[in-house]
Structure 1
Amino acid sequence: MSEDDQQRLDKWLWFTRTVKTRSLAQKLVKGGHIRVNRERTTSPSFVLKPEDVLTIALPKRIRILKFVKAGTRRGPAVEAATLYQDLTPPPVPMTAEERARKGPAPAPDKRPDKRARRDLIRLKGTDD
């Protein structure tokens, strides 16, 4: 195995565009949100090797990535996608029951127009 096949964990996370900055990658690793081959790691300098599988706990989702090759720079997203294989399962769609329990979509953040105000007044039964 050559040096070209290995890379620091924090650097690789930044090159693959998993996080915006390298310091955020270090915080993610130090916070214990990364597992390499099912083992939790808290060292940003952990050396990744080909075929390593990373489980990354991000704020809104969990990603499972397989290390394919080391990067040389933080290039465009198309280039970053060649550094890993995404093993993350697709999200499970919500059932009709879950959608009903969640409730209607929130109202838009705008003031009601003249017609909507009059409808509200009529609905409330007040003459304000």
Structure 2
Amino acid sequence: MNKKKTAANKPQEEKIRLDKWLWAARFYKTRALATEAIKGGKVHLNGQRFKPSHHSEIGYSLRIKKESIEQTVLVLKLSGKRGPAPIAQTLYEETAESISAREKRSQERKAIFEGMPQHTVKRPSKKDRRKIIQFKQAQHD
């Protein structure tokens, strides 16, 4: 007997919504944030926009843009449960091009801020407070 496998008789583990998978893979803290990102065009599936309810499959390529970080990952495993980070990292693999581009952008950002002075905010010392008080009194006189 040669039976065709349809979407209706696939095991439940093979039918995971992409917003749920993104949450389980720890790209977003909540499913609501994952859904917002998908609706806002921050996540692309194989180069195209999609709905949050779209089902994920092994081998899909996702481009995820979060703040200034952009990653391209391949779906390796499906899971609808959010687990520890080391397990979540086994659900996907970041492409080599994505890793190199991310590292390049990181180095560029570091180079931009390298020459700038770092300001340290600290509380005024007793001497500084005395000067502030004298300055304020001089303003009122």
Give the TM-score normalised by the residue count of structure 2: 0.69
Of the three residues 66, 70, 80, the one matched with 2:74 is: 66
Task: Tell me the equivalent position of 1:110.
Answer: 122
How far has the Cα of 1:82 moved from its partner? 1.2
Does the CA contact (< 8 Å) of 1:30 and 1:44 recur in 2? yes
Structure 2: where are the runs of 5+ without partners?
129-141
How far has the Cα of 1:40 moved from its partner? 1.6
Task: Tell me the equivalent position of 2:14.
Answer: 5
Superposed CA RMSD in Å reads 2.4
Q: How many residues align?
A: 113
Larger Rg: 2
Alignment of 1:44-55 (within 5 A): 44-55=52-63
Task: Tell me the equivalent position of 1:35.
Answer: 44
Does the CA contact (< 8 Å) of 1:54 and 1:65 recur in 2? yes
Q: Secondary structure at the match of 1:56?
A: strand
Question: Using the alignment, how far apart are the partners of 1:45 and 1:10 within structure 2?
Answer: 7
Task: Tell me the equivalent position of 1:89.
Answer: 99
More displaced stretch, 58-67 vs 9-18: 58-67
Give the TM-score normalised by the residue count of structure 1: 0.75
Superposed structure 1 runs of 4+ greater than 4 Å apart = 112-115
Task: Tell me the equivalent position of 1:123.
Answer: none
Does the CA contact (< 8 Å) of 1:32 and 1:40 recur in 2? yes
Instruction: Please list the CA deviations of residues 39-90 of structure 1 after superposition, one character each: whole Å capped at 9, or x if unmatched.
Output: 122x110111110000011112111111111114101001101111122323
Task: Tell me the equivalent position of 2:23.
Answer: 14
| CA gap 1:35/1:79 in 2 versus in 1, 3 angstroms | same
Higher helix share: 2
Identity of aligned residues (%): 32
